Structure formats: C-alpha cells, structure tokens
Amino acid sequence: MTEIPVIETDRMILRGPQASDWEDYAAFRASPRMSTVGGPFNRREAFQQFCALIGHWQVRGYGRWVMTDKETGEFLGVVGIYFPEGWPEPEIAWSVADAGEGRGLAQEAALAARAWAYQSLGWTRLMSLVDPSNERSVALAKRMGCEIGGTFEHPDFGTLTYWYHPGPEAQT
Amino acid sequence: MTQIPTVETRRLSLRGPQAKDYPNFKATFASYRSRYMGGPLNPYESWMLYAAEIGHWDIRGYGMWMIHDRATDETYGMAGGWFPAMWPEPEIAWFIWPEKAGRGFALEAVDAARRWLYREKGWEGAVSYLDAYDLDSVRLAERLGAKRDPEAVMIDKDDSVYRHPSPAKLRNSQLSDAIALEIAHYADPRWKPEGWALD
C-alpha cells in the first residue's frame, strides 16, 4: 500500500491516520463543529470516514493527514487533499478539533499541504470548497490568498463556495 | 501501511482492493442488489465506502478482499473480515457482482477467507449479519455450516445473525469435506448447464 508521507511544520507533525487516533477522531466527528460538513456523525459513520481517510491515499495517491502536536502528539484535526467521487476537482480541505482552534494551526497545516501538493504532485492549481456559513473557514481561505469563484451544488452538502488558491508561482 | 495478503484458491485470487477495481463495486452498490448491504448508494457514498474497505485493513489488520479470477483477473465481488465501530462482533462478509452470481464464487472465496481469519488472526469463530430476506446469503451461510443464533446481538433489529462453526469444529470434519466437494463441483462440473442462473 502507498506509504503516507510525513510532513513536519513549525508546531505539528502531519502523518497518516493510525488505529490509535480512532477515539480522538470519533469524538471530533461527533462534535457540533461538524455542522457545516454534514455532521455531527455517529461512531458508525465516523469509522467509515476514518478508514476512508486511509483508503483515499490508496485510491488517489494523495489524501489527508492527521494533524498532531509536535511536542505532545495531541490530535488537532485533519488536513490535506480531498477528492472523493462527485467532487468537482481535488480540494485542500481542513477541519480542526477543539484543541487545534484559535492558534493558526489550520493555516499552518493547510499551507504545508498546499506546498506539498505543488511540489510533490506537480499541480498548478488548487481550490477549497467552503460552506458559506462557515465563517472561520472563509476567513482562513482569505488569509491563504484565495479568491472566490463560483458555487458548487452537492446533493448531500448543499451549496458550497469555490475558493481558488494562489498557484505554485506565488509560493515563496 | 499494512500490506494486504493475497490468498489463492482453486479458481480465485483474493487480493487487496485497488482503484481500478472500483467501477464494478460502484455498479453493484448503485443497483437494487445492494438493498441487503446498506444500498443503493449514491456515487459519493459508494466511493467513500470503497475507500473505507481499503482503510479497514490498516486499522484492523484484516478486511475485505477483491475476488479475482486466477486465470483472467476479472473481478467477481468481495469477501473477508469486517468489523466497523458499533458492530457487536467481527463479521465474515461477502457480496458478488449481480451478473457473477450462481457459480460458487462466494462459497469458494468465503471458505478461504474464513480459513485465513481463523489461521492468521486466531479467530475462534465469527458471525455474518444477514438480512432474513437475502435468501442467497442465508443459503450460503448454511452451506458454510453457519447457524442462525437468535441470542446474538444484532446491528439492526431486522438482521439475522448467523454464527460460523469454530476452527475446532471445522477441522477434519464432514462439513469441511462437503464444502470442498461443493467447490470442486463448481470448478469442475460433472455436467455443463445450458446457462448460469442470473441471481
């Protein structure tokens, strides 16, 4: 199976999901934070999503990482490139747990994921799909230099807004 | 990552699910045949389930294999061990693409999967959660020696739980001989039917 790469940022290790992350992930998916991404989710739904994080890497060759605190190993959220069937194109997706909120960690992780996609996959464009009511994610998209595009209608998730990221030439 | 082992049988090769095998999975889960396994699913749901089938191997150390024809590499369905959150017990599960049913592939694959789980994972038994109306699967469970366990905890209230014989009960048993004989008849039939049953 594809080995999921490990990325080190200033404050985090981004790595593939492991069985030991399951309880943290289940609590994260059950939280009210999930209301803008189709949740909250019960354990049965969350388990499938958890396993699918790993399978996504195998099917696509890229996927999402678990964000962990470099010092403590604490679970902080999930970030990476998400492209399930029915998505218009691959997106940079981020989702932080309570412990990862308010410290700029989502931005740090999403920037690392974006740089990885441009460098390792050789991609030249990326977008993020954001629920317009998710103000914190809208603010993060703006901080990352994204420009608003059109909207995308998903049968399960409703109307989502395209945010186009700056291309690799804009990376320093 | 866990390397998914390959298991060979007389006609079949059980291998880890790969991206190229997805279209048949999607077609099956979009069809009415999937009504007994949580379907029909939309494309997003079926893709996420397929990704989860692969990730399950990494989380649990076992999972569902893709069933291939040894000679032609064609796929026929999936079989293996399945234990998501909130399942009362680890399960032996299977499904066959609708147009490939009736040729004994599920019997051959599930028999091999069960022996692998007993031998490599030390399982002392297993259940299969079936829909009581899914008579093809109920019959297959019975041919494999599983019996309905009315005491077992169910996932949904309209499930039937079939309990598989333990490794000790299968060893050198008349049941194992009967399973082997039935598989042999499918692989090398005494008479050739005019066509295959559709379902």
Residue A95 lies in a domain: yes
Q: In a structure prediction context, what are the per-residue pLDDT tens digits for chain B, which is 199 residues long?
A: 678 999 999 999 999 999 999 999 999 999 988 998 888 999 999 999 999 999 999 999 999 999 999 999 999 999 999 999 999 999 999 999 999 998 999 999 999 999 999 999 999 999 999 999 999 999 999 999 999 999 999 888 778 999 999 999 999 999 999 999 999 999 988 777 677 666 6
Name the closest residue on chain B to residue A59, using Cα atoms. B19
Q: How many CA atoms lie within 13 A of B20 on its CB side?
A: 5
- The span from the CA of A164 to the CA of A91, in Å, is 9
Residues of chain A with pLDDT > 70, as a percent, come to 98
- How many distinct structural domains can be found in chain A? 1
Q: Would you call A52 and B84 a contact, using CB atoms and an 8 Å cutoff?
A: no
Are A92 and A110 a contacting pair, CB within 8 Å?
Answer: yes
Place of tokens 């559709």: B198
Residue A168 lies in a domain: no
Residue A170 lies in a domain: no
What is residue B1's predicted lDDT score, i.e. its pLDDT? 65
A88 Cβ under 8 Å from any chain B Cβ: no
Question: What pTM was computed for the model?
Answer: 0.92
Domain around A14 = 7-123
Q: Considering only CA atoms, which of B104, B7, B127 is closest in space to residue B65? A: B7
> What residues contact A30, with CB distance under 8 A and at least 6 apart?
A39, A40, A41, A42, A43, A46
Which of A43, A49, A56 lies at the smallest CB-CB distance from B86?
Answer: A43
Q: Considering only CA atoms, which of B15, B12, B17 is closest in space to residue B29? A: B17
- Which helix or strand (DSSP H or E) is residue A95 part of? strand A91-96
Q: What mean pLDDT comes out for the span A67-89? A: 96
Residue A143 lies in a domain: no
B16 to chain A: which residues are within 8 Å by CB?
A: 1
A156 to chain B: which residues are within 8 Å by CB?
A: 42, 44
Which CATH number do you get for residue A25? 3.40.630.30
What is residue B198's predicted lDDT score, i.e. its pLDDT? 66
Q: φ and ψ at A18, to 5 degrees?
A: -125, 160
What chain B holds in terms of domains, given with CATH numbers, is: 7-187 (3.40.630.30)
Residue A151 lies in a domain: no
